[in-house]
Structure 1
C-alpha cells in the first residue's frame, strides 16, 4: 500500500481494528479506496493467500457489508473493487460483478469497452459527483445481466434485463440491503439505456417514460436515476469532461409535465378513470413538445 498502509502497518491495522481475518481483507480493500490508498503487490499477495485459505467461506455476507459500504463511499471505489478482484475476494462476495470483467460492450471510440473496467469508471464517477450510497450500489449492479450474454450477440446484450433482475435481487438479499437500494437497482437496469436514448424519443414517449418511472410521485428517485445515467455516460472514453444533455432534457420535460393542470383533467373525466389517464398523458405530451421545441438536444459524443 502507500507509505501509511505499508506491509509494516498491515498486521497492526488488521489485527487491532478487526478480529476476523475475513473482515480484515475487506477493511484493507476498503481503505485502498481512500486517499493515497493504492495497494502494493506484497499486500495483495497476503490477502490472496488468505482468500485461497478459505477465510471468506465462513463470513456472513451481511457482516461484510459495512466494509463494502466504506469503500463504495470513499473517493475512489474502483480501487476497492480492483483490490478485491486481484486477491480473489470479489469472485467470492460478488461473483455477478466479477464475471463482468472481460465482457465487451458497444461504445463510440473505441468501438468496444470491457464492462468490468467500465464499471470501475462509473463507480469513480459516482464518487466524483458525491452521489448517494443508493446510486453507488445501483452503479455496482445495473450491468450484472450482461456477463453471460450469448457470444453470437456480443457486444450487444440481448435480454440482459431479464437475466439481471434476479441477480440484483439476489445481491440485495445477500447483503440485506434496504428496499430502496433494490428499487433503484431494478429501475436502473430497466431504464438507464432508455434514458440514454431520450433524444430519439417523441414527446409522448418521454411523457410516458416519466410516468413509468414515477418521476411525478418520486422525484428523488428520478434524480438518482439521472445521476447514475450521467455517471455511466461520463465513464465512456473521452466523455469525462462532457455534460450529459439527456439529464437536462428530462428535467425540462418533467417541469413541463408538472405544469399540466391534473386536477382540471380529473374533474373533466371524473366518471372515467381510463379516459382521464389518457387525457393526462396527452396533455403532458403536448407540454413536453412545447417545452423542448426551441431546444436542440444532441448527444455531444
Structure 2
C-alpha cells in the first residue's frame, strides 16, 4: 500500500499558495485493508475513506468509464491493480493531475508543472469530454489563476457544448461551480471562457444576450452591455463584495437585452424588464434565497437608487418601504454596494463619485429617528391611524435631508 498527495494540494504548493485541503490516493490496497487499518468508509459511488487521526480523505486509485450523459453517468473500477498514473489520467486538467510521494517527489506524467509555469489550462486526456462539469471547472480555474485555456482544450469544450453535454448538467452542480467562480479573484475570466466555448449561451442565455447590445456612449464609454456587466462584476470582486452582491452585479442589467434601444440608446425601462429574466435564472439553477432576492431587488430598483436626487421626500419613503429597508437594512446596504459597482464598472469611470450610497443610508437613518412606540401609544384609541402617523413623522425627518442633498447636487446628475 502506497499513499500519494494529489490534485489541488500539489498544484497550490507548486504555486506557493496556501493549501487548505489535502486529498490522498492509495495504490495497491482494497477496501478491506483500508478498514483494517482504521480508515472509515464514506464514499457513496467509489471507495473513499477518512483517516482515523487527521480525518483527511483517502481514495483508492480508480479508473472510470462513461455510461450515460451528464456528470453522474460513470462506472468506477477501484482495485489493487489500478496504478497511480491510471488514476491521474482520469483527472480533468494537467495542473490537477500531479501527485507527491512521501519523500516529496513530484509525479507528473502529463506535464502539469510545465502548464503551471506557462499559465495554461490543458485537459489530460480525451476523457475530459465525458464530464460536462469540467467545462465549468476549467472556467472557474481561469477565474482563480487568470490562466489561458489551451487551444485544443477550447476546441474540445466547444464540441462538448455542440454535442449537448452541457444540457445534462443538474442545477446544484452548476450553481456550485458558478458560486465558486464568482468568488474567485477574476470572475470575469470564468464568463469569458464560458462564452468562448458556447456554454454561456446554454447556461446563462440572459447574460450572453447582453453582448453586442449597445448603450449610449456618453454615459457608457465601453458601449457594449455585456462588457459593462463584466466590468461591474470585476469591480464588485475587486471591492471584496459578497457572493449575493457579485451575483446581483452579474444580473443587474438583464433587461437591456429586452428593451428597445432608442437613438442614443438609453434602454428606458430595462430595470422593470429585467425582473422576469432574473427570476428565470434564479429558478433554473435553484439559486439560494439571499442571492436570488438581492439580484431581483438590485435589478428592479437600481435606477431609482441612482436617481435619488430627483425624488420627492414622499417617493423616498415609499421606496424605503418597498425595498424593505426598515426591516432589512443590511440587504438594502448590499444593494447600494452593487449600485456603486454599477456606476464605477464603466470605462475610465473606475473612481466616479457615488454620493447616492451615503445619502440613502442617511435617509434611512433619518427615517428611523422617530419614536414609533410613542406614536403607537398616542394613537392607541385609533390604531388604524398609527401607520399614517409613523409615515408622517418619517417624512418630517426625511424632508430636510433630501432638501439639503438636492441643493448640494443640483444639476450634477446625482
TM-score (ref. length: structure 2): 0.65
Please name the residue that 2:177 is paired with.
67
Please say which of residues 39-48 and 140-149 is displaced more in the overlay: 39-48
C-alpha contact (below 8 Å) 1:33/1:71 kept by paired residues: yes
Please say which of residues 96-105 and 263-272 is displaced more in the overlay: 263-272
How many residues of Structure 1 are paired with residues of Structure 2 in the alignment? 299
Alpha-carbon displacement from aligned partner over 1:221-270 (angstroms, at most 9, x marks no partner): 10111111111011122321233110011111111111111222222233
Aligned with 1:222 (options 323, 327, 332): 332
Aligned with 2:374 (options 264, 274, 292): 264
Matched, 1:150 2:271: no
Deviation of 1:40 (Å) = 5.0
Matched, 1:55 2:170: no
Q: How does 1:242-281 map to 2 (within 5 A)?
A: 242-281=352-391
SS at match of 1:137: helix
Please name the residue that 2:226 is paired with.
116
Deviation of 1:21 (Å) = 2.4
Larger of the two Rg values belongs to structure:
2
C-alpha contact (below 8 Å) 1:104/1:112 kept by paired residues: no
Q: State the alpha-carbon separation in 1 of the partners of residues 136 and 272 from structure 2.
A: 31
Q: State the alpha-carbon separation in 1 of the partners of residues 124 and 222 from structure 2.
A: 43
Aligned with 2:314 (options 204, 209, 217): 204
Higher relative contact order (CA 8 A, sep 6+): 1
Q: How does 1:20-35 map to 2 (within 5 A)?
A: 21-35=131-145
Q: 1:154 to 1:51 in 2, by over 3 A?
A: farther
Please name the residue that 1:130 is paired with.
240
Q: 1:274 to 1:157 in 2, by over 3 A?
A: farther
Q: State the alpha-carbon separation in 1 of the partners of residues 350 and 140 from structure 2.
A: 24
- Give the structure with the higher percent helix: 1
SS at match of 1:248: helix
Q: State the alpha-carbon separation in 1 of the partners of residues 216 and 382 from structure 2.
A: 46
Matched, 1:140 2:255: no
Q: 1:39 to 1:270 in 2, by over 3 A?
A: farther
Consecutive unaligned residues in structure 1, runs of 5 or more = none
Q: State the alpha-carbon separation in 2 of the partners of residues 53 and 6 from structure 1.
A: 30
Please name the residue that 1:239 is paired with.
349
Aligned with 1:178 (options 288, 295, 299): 288
C-alpha contact (below 8 Å) 2:214/2:224 kept by paired residues: yes
Deviation of 1:64 (Å) = 1.6
Consecutive unaligned residues in structure 2, runs of 5 or more = 1-94, 96-113
Please say which of residues 43-52 and 166-175 is displaced more in the overlay: 43-52
